[in-house]
Amino acid sequence: MKNGTVLLVGRPNVGKSTFVNNVIGQKVAITSPKPQTTRFPIQAYYEDERGTIYFVDTPGIFDRVKDTLSKKINNQTLDATHSNVDVVIYMVDHTRRRDFEEGKVLGIVRKINKPKILVINKMDKQDEGTFLPQYEFLREEFPDVFIISAINKTHVKPLLERIFELLPERTETDEHPENPVYPLINLDSKTFIAELIREKVFLKMGQEIPYRITVVVDEIAERSDKLTYIKARILTTDHRYKKMLIGAGGRKIKEMGGMARKDIALATSKKIFLDLTVEVDPHWPEVLY
């Protein structure tokens, strides 16, 4: 059986997490149209008759790393590139211009001495133009190039086929956990639920606030066979952000809480009572991660 680790790298927003979710067939990593949605590597298994692929989705490598949070996020990805991987997927988004940030990612990819696949994502998106010609030169360096749509799962099959070809033959016990457990990811339930809530802040708040918050889940309690009580807090760095997160008459927090509750209920097949509050903690970026 084939068995090995595939590391996904690319700049923020190219669709790495969308790809992993759609290959796995369930949401393991949160996604949003905003960059830096993923904050730490997420591991998820894909299994079929050919073997097991152990995907590592990483935070997008970010160009502007001035603040503590961005530095920590970037370092998580750099650490992951030094870990033991068998294949690297370098994902690019043809709808965005090649720039300094993309050059930085390529520099990091070049240093990883493993088989590499270039994946050009978002092939379904053509209306706003393409910068594909700017990525053509990479074909010389990358023997394997796949143009896909992660969102529609177009051309994902041949890509998986190639990944399996490149992976080593290995018994599962060699290096990877023998019995990966459902839902096949490395996050505990509290972290996973916190991620689902954080995603709603990325989706519902403006450009700045998602980078000023984190989510902490304090309690998950089974109240009955069917009902689970969850207590969670959104931590933010400033009172004015807290006000915006709550919104007029508490509308914003209710909306985000409602969306998160539905997602958690779907993932757990339980009825969820979500007690979600907002707190000011200016130090969370230094303490967390």
- Give which of ligand GTP, Mg ion, none residue 116 binds (C-beta under 5 to 8 Å, depending on kind): none
Residue 41 touches ligand GTP, criterion: CB under 6 A: no
Contact partners, residue 133, CB within 8 Å, separation at least 6: none
Shortest CA distance to 142 belongs to which of 104, 109, 105, 108?
A: 109
Does residue 38 belong to the site contacting ligand GTP (CB under 6 A)?
yes
User: Taking contact as CB under 5 A, which single stretch among the options 12-20, 46-54, 184-192, 214-222 is the one that binds Mg ion?
Assistant: 12-20
265 binds, among ligand GTP, Mg ion, none (CB under 5 to 8 A by kind): none
48, 67, 79, 124: residue in contact with ligand GTP (rule CB under 6 A): 124
Count the site residues for ligand GTP by CB under 6 A. 24
Query: What is the rounded distance in angstroms from the CA atom of residue 274 to the CA atom of residue 104?
Result: 41
Name which of 37 and 214 has its Cβ closer to Mg ion.
Answer: 37
81 vs 121 by CB, closer to ligand GTP: 121
Asked if omega into 12 is within 30° of 0 (cis), the reply is no
Rounded Cα distance, 123 and 177, in Å: 35
Q: How far is the CB of 188 from ligand GTP (least distance, A)?
A: 20
Structure tokens at 69: 């949070």
Residue with smaller CB distance to ligand GTP, 28 or 193: 28
* Residue with the two structure tokens 């079929």: 48
Q: x/- site string to Mg ion, residues 130 to 149, per CB under 5 A?
A: --------------------
Of the two residues 16 and 233, which places its CB atom closer to Mg ion in the complex? 16
Shortest distance in whole angstroms from residue 124 CB to Mg ion: 18
Segment contacting ligand GTP by CB under 6 A, of 7-15, 45-53, 188-196, 235-243: 7-15
CB < 8 Å & 24+ apart, contacts of 240-249: 241/209, 241/212, 241/213, 241/280, 242/278, 242/279, 242/280, 244/205, 244/206, 244/209, 245/201, 245/205, 245/209, 245/213, 245/278, 246/278
Work out whether 38 is an interface residue with Mg ion (CB under 5 A): yes
List contacts with Mg ion (CB under 5 A).
16-17, 37-38
